[in-house]
Structure 1
Amino acid sequence: MNGTTAPSPWLPTAPCTPGRCTAHPGPGPGEEAPGAVAAGLVLAAVRLTAGIGSVLLGLLLAPATGLLPAAARLALVRAWVRVVVRAFGVRVRFTGAAAPAAGPLLVVANHVSWLDIPLLAAVLPGRMVAKAEVRHWPVLGTIAALGGTLFIDRDRLRALPGTVRAMAGTLAGGGRVIAFPEGSTWCGRAGGRFRPAVFQAALDSGTDVQPVRIDFRPTGAAAYVGDDPLGASLWRLVATRRVTADVRILDPIAGVGHPDRRSLAAAAERAVAEAVTPAPVTPAPVTPAPVTPASVTPAPVTPAPSGPAPRVVAQRAVASDSANLPFSSVHQRARSSPASASSSRTPA
C-alpha cells in the first residue's frame, strides 16, 4: 500500500506519484477525456456515500458473522466485498484460470490500489499481508484486523522472519495467504520487482503460488500511490466514469521446481508481467465501399442472314453488384460485468 517514504533504505519504493501517475491523458480525436470526465458532483457524492456506507455496514455486522458456519461466513464476506466495490462505481471482469475452490495457496499479485484487496477477497479470499500502518487506519484498520490480516512492521527488518513463519503456519494449516510482493503500490503503467521474502513461506509449507494480474481502466483512476491521501483517492475514483477492474487468474506455480525463493519470486513476477490484459477494442466505423453501377455492353450486331427472318428472343442483361458490396463484419465488444459478477473487498 502507499504511504510516506519510510526511513529504512531496504524498503521497496516506487517512482509513482499522485501528480504524475494519477492524471489521465488527454482525449483523442472524437473521444471523451479518459476517466477525467467527472460523473457529476451529485453522482460522485452518491457513490462515495454508498461505498463508505457499505463498508460501515460490514463492520457493524462483522461480530454477528462469527456465529455462522465457515462456509456461510465466507460466502457472506465475498458477497459483501462485491457490494463495496460496485458501490464505489467499479465494474469487475474476471478472466483466466478457474479460481481453486479450497486449499492452501500463496496468492501474489501486482499492487495498484487499495481496491486490490477487496478484488482478491471476492475470488481468492485469505489472510492478507499488509504493512503495520494499516492497523491504525480509521475503519479500514479495524476491518483488516477482524479479517486476520498479518501485519508487517516494515521498519524492523528483524521482524520479517517471524512474519514469514506466521505465513507458513497459515499455509501449512490449509489456509490462504494474500501478499503483494512489490512491497509498494505502482500506478499500473509499470510494476516493481517481486521481493522474495514472502515466497519462502510457500517453500517451507510446500504450497503452490497463485499469481494474479490486476489492471484498471482508465489507468490512474484507481491508482493509490506515493503520499496520495485516502480521501483524494476515494473522490477521484467515484468522480470517474466507467472504471473497470480486470482481474486475471493465472496458472498456479509449483514451488517444487524452484531451488530457492528468488527463483520462485522471479517466476511469479514474470507470469504477472506477461499477463497484461488487452484493452477493449472499440470497433472502427465501417465505411461501405462506393457502389458503381454495372455497365451493360450491348451485344455486337451482326447482319441478318438471307432467307426467312429468324424469330428474335428478347434478352435482358443482368448487372451484378455483389462484388462491389462490402463484406459484413462482426465486431465483438467486451463489456464489464454487472454488480452480480463484480468483486469488491475492504482494504487491509
Structure 2
Amino acid sequence: MSAWLPTAPCTPGACVERSRDAAALPRAVLRLTAVAVLLLVGIALALTPLGGRIPDALVRRWCRWTVRAAGVRVRVAGAAAPAGGLLLVAPHVSWLDIPLLAAVRPARMLAKSEIRRWPVAGPLAARAGVLFIERDRLRALPDTVATLARALREGAAVAAFPEGSTWCGRARGSFRRAVFQAALDAGVPVQPVRIRYRTAERAVSTAPAFVGEDTLLASLWRVASARGLTAEVEVCPAVPPGRHRDRRALAEAAQPDGPGGPAVRHGHQEKAPSKSMCAL
C-alpha cells in the first residue's frame, strides 16, 4: 500500500462497541435474512432490461428499506438535493453510508478498484455504474478526476467519501481534495451530507463502524444484533458552483464537521449537539 494513502487510527478493538443482549442472536438472524431478501430483489431488478430506468423514488425507498431491515431506523432532514450534475460527499463510517446516501439521491458511487475484482459484487457494481479509483497509483488520479468530471457534466450525481478511509464515528478525518477538482472542472454544486449513528440513549454509536482490519461479516453482525440504532442523515445546503476558486477551499466548505463541530479528529469525545448537525 502506498505511503500517501489516507489511514485512520480507528480499530475494531479500540473503537467499536458490541452487543451483549441475550436476544441478539435471533434478532440478528431475522434481520440478516430480511436484508438478504431485499438484496436479492434489488439484484434481480438491476439485472432486468429495466434496471437502468428504475425510478429514483423507488431506489431511495429500497435503500431505506434495506437499512431498516438491518435494524437501523433512518431519519433524514435538511435541504433537498438539487437535480442535474451533483457531487455528494460525506464522512465515511460504515457500509451503511452507501445506501443512506442513495436514499438522499441515487448516484454513481466512487469506489476503490479492488471491488471490481470481487466475485459477483464486482460485476454488479460495474453494471450499477460505480466509478473505480486505483488508490495505489497516484499517476492514475488525473484520469479518475477527468472521468468524474465527465460524468458530472453529463448530469449524473456522483457520491464519494473524500476522507479516503473509514472512521469510527466519534473521530473523523479531513476531506481529501481530488474529487472536488472534478466538481470545479464540471461546474456543478457539491452536496455535503452528514451521517451519524446513535444508540437508543442518543449517544453516538460505533457499532456500525467498518474500520481497520474489521471484516464486512463482523460489521454486518454487529449492526444486525444491535438494539435501538438510528441513522441520522442531515442534508446540508449545497455549495453552488463558482463560490470557491480552488479545491482546498471547496473541500473545507463541504466538510460537515467544520472547526468546532461535534467530532474530533484524533480523539473520542463529543460536544453537545447543536440544532443542526452541519457546521458549514
Settle same-fold status: TM greater than 0.5: yes
Report deviation, 1:141: 3.2
Provide closer, same or farther for how the CA distance between residues 36 and 146 of structure 1 changes in structure 2, counting only shifts above 3 A: farther
Q: Which residue matches 2:223? A: 237
Residue-by-residue CA offset, 1:79-128 (whole Å, 9 max, x unaligned):
2222211111111001122233x211111101000100000111111111
Is 1:73 equivalent to 2:64 in the alignment? no
Q: How many residues align?
A: 262
Task: Write the distance in 2 (CA, Å) between the matches of 1:151 and 1:38.
Answer: 41
Provide closer, same or farther for how the CA distance between residues 38 and 99 of structure 1 changes in structure 2, counting only shifts above 3 A: farther
Q: Which stretches in structure 2 are left out of the alignment for 5+ residues? A: 200-204, 264-269, 274-280
Contact 2:79 2:237 in 1 (8 A): yes
Q: Which residue matches 1:82? A: 64
Task: Write the distance in 1 (CA, Å) between the matches of 2:111 and 2:191.
Answer: 18
Task: Write the distance in 1 (CA, Å) between the matches of 2:51 and 2:136.
Answer: 38
Q: Could you say what secondary structure the match of 2:183 adopts? A: helix
Q: Which residue matches 2:96? A: 115
Q: Which residue matches 1:333? A: none
Task: Write the distance in 2 (CA, Å) between the matches of 1:69 and 1:11.
Answer: 33
Name the Cα RMSD after superposition.
2.4
Q: Which has the higher contact order (CA 8 A, sep 6+)?
A: 1
Contact 2:81 2:191 in 1 (8 A): no
Equivalent residue for 1:105, pick from 68, 76, 86: 86
Provide closer, same or farther for how the CA distance between residues 36 and 189 of structure 1 changes in structure 2, counting only shifts above 3 A: farther
Contact 1:211 1:271 in 2 (8 A): no
Provide closer, same or farther for how the CA distance between residues 162 and 59 of structure 1 changes in structure 2, counting only shifts above 3 A: same
Q: Which residue matches 2:193? A: 212
Provide closer, same or farther for how the CA distance between residues 138 and 114 of structure 1 changes in structure 2, counting only shifts above 3 A: farther
Is 1:171 equivalent to 2:152 in the alignment? yes
Contact 2:46 2:52 in 1 (8 A): no
Task: Write the distance in 1 (CA, Å) between the matches of 2:168 and 2:68.
Answer: 21
Equivalent residue for 2:40, pick from 56, 63, 71: 56
Contact 1:56 1:139 in 2 (8 A): no
Provide closer, same or farther for how the CA distance between residues 158 and 15 of structure 1 changes in structure 2, counting only shifts above 3 A: same
Provide closer, same or farther for how the CA distance between residues 135 and 197 of structure 1 changes in structure 2, counting only shifts above 3 A: same
Provide closer, same or farther for how the CA distance between residues 48 and 279 of structure 1 changes in structure 2, counting only shifts above 3 A: farther
Contact 2:189 2:239 in 1 (8 A): yes
Equivalent residue for 2:142, pick from 161, 169, 175: 161
Report deviation, 1:155: 0.8
Report deviation, 1:169: 0.5
Q: Which stretches in structure 1 are left out of the alignment for 5+ residues? A: 1-6, 25-34, 282-348
Identity fraction in percent: 56
Task: Write the distance in 2 (CA, Å) between the matches of 1:264 and 1:16.
Answer: 26
Task: Write the distance in 2 (CA, Å) between the matches of 1:8 and 1:109.
Answer: 24
Query: What amino acid maps onto 1:54 in structure 2?
Result: L
Contact 1:90 1:244 in 2 (8 A): yes
Q: Could you say what secondary structure the match of 1:171 adopts? A: helix
Q: Which has the larger radius of gyration?
A: 1
Contact 1:110 1:272 in 2 (8 A): no
Q: Which residue matches 1:188? A: 169
Task: Write the distance in 2 (CA, Å) between the matches of 1:162 and 1:155.
Answer: 14
Query: What amino acid maps onto 1:258 in structure 2?
Result: H
Residue-by-residue CA offset, 1:284-307 (whole Å, 9 max, x unaligned):
xxxxxxxxxxxxxxxxxxxxxxxx
Report deviation, 1:67: 2.6
Report deviation, 1:171: 0.8
Q: Which residue matches 1:314? A: none
> What's the TM-score, normalizing by structure 1?
0.70
Provide closer, same or farther for how the CA distance between residues 56 and 136 of structure 1 changes in structure 2, counting only shifts above 3 A: farther
Task: Write the distance in 1 (CA, Å) between the matches of 2:98 and 2:140.
Answer: 23
